[in-house]
Structure 1
């Protein structure tokens, strides 16, 4: 099993590993948020988030091309060498810009008073985590070494939690120390992973491509994505920068912690996205469109509804969740959390759709759709966050709540446009009914379960250990509602009645 290349086993391992990693990461995030307070946590997330945005400009779609090319067929070592040189170029150019070239006046406007040394640390941490380690994971997935990569990810998450806990216990947790921990752990993990994956490549002989051939392939794939990279930077950085400027560090902290809670609903999607990408790229290269259609329908329906099921249960408990896990300092964040829990539902569909475009090489279509929606998003962000007076265009001054509302509304619109275009070029019917039926059902079940529990307990102001009995009872009731829905309408989750019956029969056989 450790070396299995089966899609089902790799899906299962990815989901299981990412579930554990998400729990560990969630706990780590809570420790950091409590230790730094909303403003400190907001500053940390703004620093790291700014370089996640800048990453798109540095990358220009090359990481997507790299993974797609690796997924299509085996590549020679020279192919890897060229890409690693490109990563090194990105790193040193950005390092020089931050350290020596950007004038103090411009630096102040970009990072809103951030210390240059801390900003430099944040860049190194974000680059190693988001670009170098992601490349390692892509190489592993392209070799179908999902299990090994997931075990490494799990080990990193455990190490991070332990070091953060120790620093917190001894009262030495700070933004600088957190960034230092990230740099050390991902550097060590990358060196170890490269040694493991290099051993797996031993004896593989493939035709070495020339630099010209490699450049030609990258240019054809990435040309539409260069414009998209610039827009993606503007879109991603604008959200964080405007929230930090107009709302302040505390509002940034509220939004980022709400996003972390909401990411629980995206767990399954992030777990299998690389596996899905590999299989779609492989099927598309073989012109097996029936397999592409089957994978897309099952995965998109299943993941959207899984996200809706998780969010549907958590949404009615937003106040209690914030009060229990974060304490009184974050209680003002509960409306932001409530809205953000709706975001991952359609975000799952968006990530699957984006993967379809990139894995099949449809980068022009992906660029036009994404560019239009990002330009609209930047305008909506300004309207939601800008002050209601004293600016050229008056805004609504809604802070983190306004940004959350924008993301949910625009997300629903954009992913459905994306899905419609995918259906058009894929040659199948636009699949939308499951959204308007399944999502409202899960949300209604969540509120109904909480209402039934509320008839037995007074839930006002309840938190910590006292919350467990009503919360668990609500979970049982909600699970029963969901199981009934899946049994009677299995197509909502991308399954067939026969598949469910066969699964139940196999479970019975194992018990016997």
Structure 2
């Protein structure tokens, strides 16, 4: 009975999180399209290269401390001293990195790292990423740790709407620039983080355990983060090298093509993003209580469900990649459609990888996670170089495939890497390695999507037409695809970690709820 209430609570928070994330993702997606069109492929490539470089640097200076922070506040209620200690650490990160970027890195080295970007613009990019990735993320973690999912998601939506409105005004005025977007991010996320912290960080009426001295808290963080230092270093080189090589060998336009394709592909990760912090909280708490059975059930159902859901979304969107680019991005991005088609496959195994990583991190198994992650990074980096490096003029020539090579390499290496991670996780927890649902479910959903588009194409013209002409065939394809997916899952409920009885009960419950809403 207690487990039932746990699952019910998780489902409610997950539903709220999914709905809010769909709304926020739609708003953020529209904002990204505006920015991409306003800046053109070269400008958008420069913006995303700058932001991506500091996302990589953030992982280096963070050293896993943000994961430790969220894990610790998820386990039990913490006092003001604990939060103040973490704020000091964030301030130290900010001051040191800003000083290096603004003043201390020699000009020659600076030029090689950021490939001709102005120092002032690079400094702005750092501050923007810090506000978005560190400060704003921390506020969300505080809210989720207290199970304030609704408030957190409403705040996320409010920030996304504000960003969209400002971006639209710049697009309408024809005054969009890389520096202008960075200033918007700094002002918006900085202000939102402060106001949201005041709203979410309410004083708890329950007694709080003494935090101990700052030295003791440092020891707690050190024990968690020590195995992750090498992961932070490896993660920095892995994330930065990909973006740097694409910018260096392919140019800003190829960077722009790849990054806009990546943004489209993130649609398939909506469900994973929605549940990840909730899943982290529940796994951390269950591990602390020694409830290993609940951990196993949560992992199996959520992992299978999210992977198949990502495959369903990919199967719906991938066959329409050419039409999506033509209508939403226009002729300047027409070369990006094959890249987009490949990248729609990437989030499928990213879902699996993020859930697996959360299992290690929330359980405090950082050493295993670090060793595994570094090994997988060392395996994938040479593949990245071969895909991106030019075929001549290099000591070790590559294929010079640009953005399409980057997309292909990421999809293929992701499939291998996350399955190795899942195998290690299974051995660590004495589970059976779960792989059959991937081999059946993923190809089946992609094949369904292509088959339905082929059938629709027999009735309507799909190439070289506008969005008005595409509206009816797309709606028909979506309806037929949705019905086909339901039939497949009903016939093979094990794909999402359910028995036929569980699926039928869930289906009947949904029908009752829809009838109740309709009444």
Q: Structure 1 length as normaliser, TM-score?
A: 0.97
Select the residue among 129, 133, 150 that pairs with 1:130.
133
Q: What is the rounded CA distance, in whole Å, between the counterparts of 2:203 and 2:474 in structure 1?
A: 46
User: Which residue of the partner structure matches residue 461 of structure 1?
Assistant: 464
- 1:117 and 2:123 matched: no
> Are the aligned partners of 1:5 and 1:144 in contact in 2 as well (CA < 8 Å)?
no
The answer to whether the Cα contact below 8 Å between 1:79 and 1:209 also exists between their aligned partners in 2 is no
Q: Residues 5 and 181 of structure 1: is their aligned pair in 2 closer, same or farther, counting only changes over 3 Å?
A: farther
The count of corresponding residues between Structure 1 and Structure 2 is 509
CA distance in 2, matches of 1:205, 1:72: 12
Structure 2 CA distance for partners of 1:290 and 1:203, relative to 1, 3 Å: closer
Tell me the equivalent position of 1:345: 348
- 1:267 is matched with 270
Matched, 1:70 2:73: yes
Map of 1:205 onto structure 2: 208
Matched, 1:11 2:14: yes
Q: Which residue of 1 aligns with 2:242?
A: 239
Q: Matched residues in 2 for 1:491 and 1:200: separation? A: 44
What corresponds to 2:111 in structure 1?
108
Given the alignment of the two structures, is residue 476 of structure 1 paired with residue 479 of structure 2, yes or no?
yes
Contact 1:22 1:264 in 2 (8 A): yes
TM-score using structure 2 length: 0.96
Long gaps (5+) in structure 2: 1-6
Instruction: Identify the match of residue 391 of structure 1 among 388, 391, 394.
Output: 394
8 Å Cα contact 1:268-1:303 kept in structure 2: yes
**Hey, what's the Cα distance between the residues in 1 that align with 2:511 and 2:348?**
32
Residue of structure 2 in register with 1:378 after alignment: 381
Pairing partner for 2:490 from 487, 492, 498: 487
The 5 A counterparts of 1:76-475 are 76-201=79-204, 204-475=207-478
Instruction: Report deviation, 1:413.
Output: 0.4
Alignment deviations for residues 224-280 of structure 1 (CA, whole Å, 9 cap, x no partner): 110000000000000000000000000000000000000000110011100000000
Superposition CA RMSD, Å: 1.3
Deviation of 1:203 (Å)? 6.0
1:50 is aligned, of 30, 50, 53, to 53
Question: Deviation at 1:349?
Answer: 0.1
Deviations 1:83-117 (A, max 9, x none): 11000000000111111101111111110000111
- 2:29 & 2:512 partners in 1: Cα distance? 37
Q: 1:7·1:275 contact (CA, 8 Å) conserved in 2? A: yes
Distance 2:174 2:279 in 1: 43
Taking the aligned partners of 1:171 and 1:280, their CA distance within structure 2 comes to 48
Q: CA 1:426–1:104 in structure 2 vs 1: closer, same or farther (change >3 Å)?
A: same
Deviations 1:354-406, CA, capped at 9 Å, x for gaps:
00000001111111111011112221111111110110000000000111111
Instruction: Report if the CA contact (8 A) 1:322-1:333 is conserved.
Output: yes
> Structure 2 CA distance, aligned partners of 1:5 and 1:473?
34
Q: 1:33 matched to which residue of 2?
A: 36
Q: CA deviation at 1:201?
A: 3.5
Partners of 1:185 and 1:242 lie apart in 2 by: 31
Q: Which residue of 1 aligns with 2:4?
A: none
Taking the aligned partners of 2:488 and 2:424, their CA distance within structure 1 comes to 29
CA contact (8 A) 2:45 2:257 kept: yes
Query: In structure 1, how many angstroms separate the alpha carbons of the residues matched to 2:244 and 2:462?
Result: 37
Instruction: Return the alpha-carbon distance in structure 2 between the equivalents of residues 134 and 290 of structure 1.
Output: 30
The 10-residue stretch of structure 1 (238-247 or 70-79) with the greater mean CA deviation from structure 2: 70-79
Match of 2:506 among 496, 503, 507: 503
SS of residue in 2 equivalent to 1:81: helix
Per-residue deviation, residues 443-468 of structure 1 (Å, max 9, x unmatched): 11000100100110122222322111
Shift in Å, 1:6: 2.1
Q: Is the 8 A contact 1:56 1:233 kept in 2?
A: yes
Question: Would you say the 8 A contact 1:14–1:271 is kept in 2?
Answer: yes
| SS of alignment partner, residue 201 of structure 2 | helix
In structure 1, runs of 5+ residues without a counterpart are none
Give the conservation status (yes or no) of the 8 Å contact 1:76–1:209.
no
How far apart are 1:498 and its partner, in Å?
2.2
Shift of 1:204: 4.8
Distance 1:508 1:411 in 2: 37
Cα distance 1:78–1:270, how it changes in 2: closer, same or farther (>3 A)? Answer: same
Distance in 1 between the 2:202 and 2:66 partners?
Answer: 23
Distance in 1 of aligned mates of 2:97 and 2:73: 27
